[in-house]
Amino acid sequence: MDTPVSRITINRLHPLFVAEVTGIDLSVPVSREDFRVIWDAFNEHQILVFRDQHFTDETQIAFGRNFGELETMIAHPGNDWNPGHISVMTNLGKDGNFLPLDHPAMVHRTRNEEWHSDSSFKPVAALASMLAAHIVPPVGGNTDFASGRAAYEDLPAERKAALENLTALHRMTYRDMASDTGYNDEDKKRHIVTHPVIRTNPVNGRKALYVGSHAQEIVGMPPEEGAKLLDELTAFVTQPKYFYSHPWRDGDAVMWDNRCTLHRATTFDKTKYKRKLHRTTIAGKAPDTAFGVMPQK
Ligand SMILES: [Fe+2]
């Protein structure tokens, strides 16, 4: 019997990371052979852009489960207080009309315009996230990505050694907590966790800088000094050579590895153009080495 051959094609969209994946319909169950191709590409390219997908929430969740358990979002303004596996990133209300710019959900979503890694404020941070496009604006509203792996690999050896054993403190809220009306005082106290500044992908051993806006202090350093170092590292990761901006097309579904990339939303004319993307988030595992092999269903 012939070995099944995948018809998936993979093309790099950036010299250092990000690949476009075509030739597969993710709205139907994915074979183990095809998932092997996707899993390997995910670990290698860090960000996968799937074209011409037509997900429902159910099929998007089913595809995500190939990678493992999905996170359940707590109710907060960003998901219109609807907890579940799907977060809707949109400037539209339930009636399909534009939300006013001062609506709590709109104010909350502007926080996604800071560089971050999803759920880095949780004790076990997210493995991956996927955004599936339902409505895309004709101009603007890109999602920007930066590779903490490519940036790490360019650091001088002595800098890598100096960072190797540092641990950062992550908070759910951003540093400017006084203006953060989307969370109550209990939320602000919860979700203060620590993660290493350098993370290693157990599949290929590649290391990455793990920073972003939720990372706010370095354990064992004065707070201002740690914050300054983390700001410097985030600026290093997000410089143009490690940066990819994704302009959304109809049918796009983009999946990223939260262990080694940062991302941010970008703005668009939110009173003129409609935008609606549905997000699923795949939970991580502790320790990271639990992902040393392809997940089993
Ligand atoms: Fe995010």
User: If you measure from the C-alpha of residue 257 to the centroid of ligand 1, how many angstroms do you get, rounded to a whole number?
Assistant: 11
pLDDT of residue 187: 61
User: If you measure from the C-alpha of residue 168 to the centroid of ligand 1, how many angstroms do you get, rounded to a whole number?
Assistant: 19
13 exposed, middle or buried (CB, 10 Å; 0-12, 13-18, 19+)?
middle
Q: For residue 35, name the pLDDT band (cuts at 50, 70, 90).
A: very high
User: If you measure from the C-alpha of residue 118 to the centroid of ligand 1, how many angstroms do you get, rounded to a whole number?
Assistant: 5
Residue 57 lies in a domain: yes
What number of other Cβ atoms are within 10 A of residue 238's Cβ? 21
Residue 266 lies in a domain: yes
Please determine, for residue 179, whether its predicted confidence score (pLDDT) is greater than 60: no
Residue 296 lies in a domain: no
User: If you measure from the C-alpha of residue 49 to the centroid of ligand 1, how many angstroms do you get, rounded to a whole number?
Assistant: 16
Residue 53 lies in a domain: yes
Residue 2 lies in a domain: no
Residue 273 lies in a domain: yes
- State how far the alpha carbon of 209 is from the alpha carbons of 53, 102, 155, 192, 217, in Å: 31, 35, 10, 19, 15
Angstrom distance (rounded) from CA 72 to CA 94: 21
User: If you measure from the C-alpha of residue 210 to the centroid of ligand 1, how many angstroms do you get, rounded to a whole number?
Assistant: 14
Q: What is the mean pLDDT of residues 145-161?
A: 98
Angstrom distance (rounded) from CA 24 to CA 2: 20
User: If you measure from the C-alpha of residue 260 to the centroid of ligand 1, how many angstroms do you get, rounded to a whole number?
Assistant: 13
User: If you measure from the C-alpha of residue 113 to the centroid of ligand 1, how many angstroms do you get, rounded to a whole number?
Assistant: 9
User: If you measure from the C-alpha of residue 82 to the centroid of ligand 1, how many angstroms do you get, rounded to a whole number?
Assistant: 17
- When the pLDDT of each residue in the chain is averaged and rounded to a whole number, the result is 91
CATH classification at residue 186: 3.60.130.10
Residue 158 lies in a domain: yes
Which percentage of the chain shows pLDDT scores above 70? 90
What number of other Cβ atoms are within 10 A of residue 79's Cβ? 19
Q: What range does the domain containing 27 cover?
A: 9-288
Q: What is the pTM of this model?
A: 0.92
Q: Which tens digit of pLDDT belongs to each residue from 245-295?
A: 999 999 999 999 999 999 999 999 999 999 999 999 999 998 888 888 899
Q: Which tens digit of pLDDT belongs to each residue from 245-259?
A: 999 999 999 999 999
What is the amino acid identity at position 158?
E
Q: What is the mean pLDDT of residues 212-226?
A: 96
Residue 219 lies in a domain: yes
Q: For residue 183, name the pLDDT band (cuts at 50, 70, 90).
A: low
Q: For residue 4, name the pLDDT band (cuts at 50, 70, 90).
A: low
User: If you measure from the C-alpha of residue 5 to the centroid of ligand 1, how many angstroms do you get, rounded to a whole number?
Assistant: 34
User: If you measure from the C-alpha of residue 119 to the centroid of ligand 1, how many angstroms do you get, rounded to a whole number?
Assistant: 8
User: If you measure from the C-alpha of residue 22 to the centroid of ligand 1, how many angstroms do you get, rounded to a whole number?
Assistant: 24
pLDDT of residue 86: 94
Please determine, for residue 75, whether its predicted confidence score (pLDDT) is greater than 80: no
Q: For residue 192, name the pLDDT band (cuts at 50, 70, 90).
A: confident
Q: For residue 108, name the pLDDT band (cuts at 50, 70, 90).
A: confident
User: If you measure from the C-alpha of residue 123 to the centroid of ligand 1, how many angstroms do you get, rounded to a whole number?
Assistant: 17
User: If you measure from the C-alpha of residue 51 to the centroid of ligand 1, how many angstroms do you get, rounded to a whole number?
Assistant: 20
Count of structural domains, the chain: 1
What is the amino acid identity at position 93?
G
Which percentage of the chain shows pLDDT scores above 90? 80
Please determine, for residue 181, whether its predicted confidence score (pLDDT) is greater than 90: no
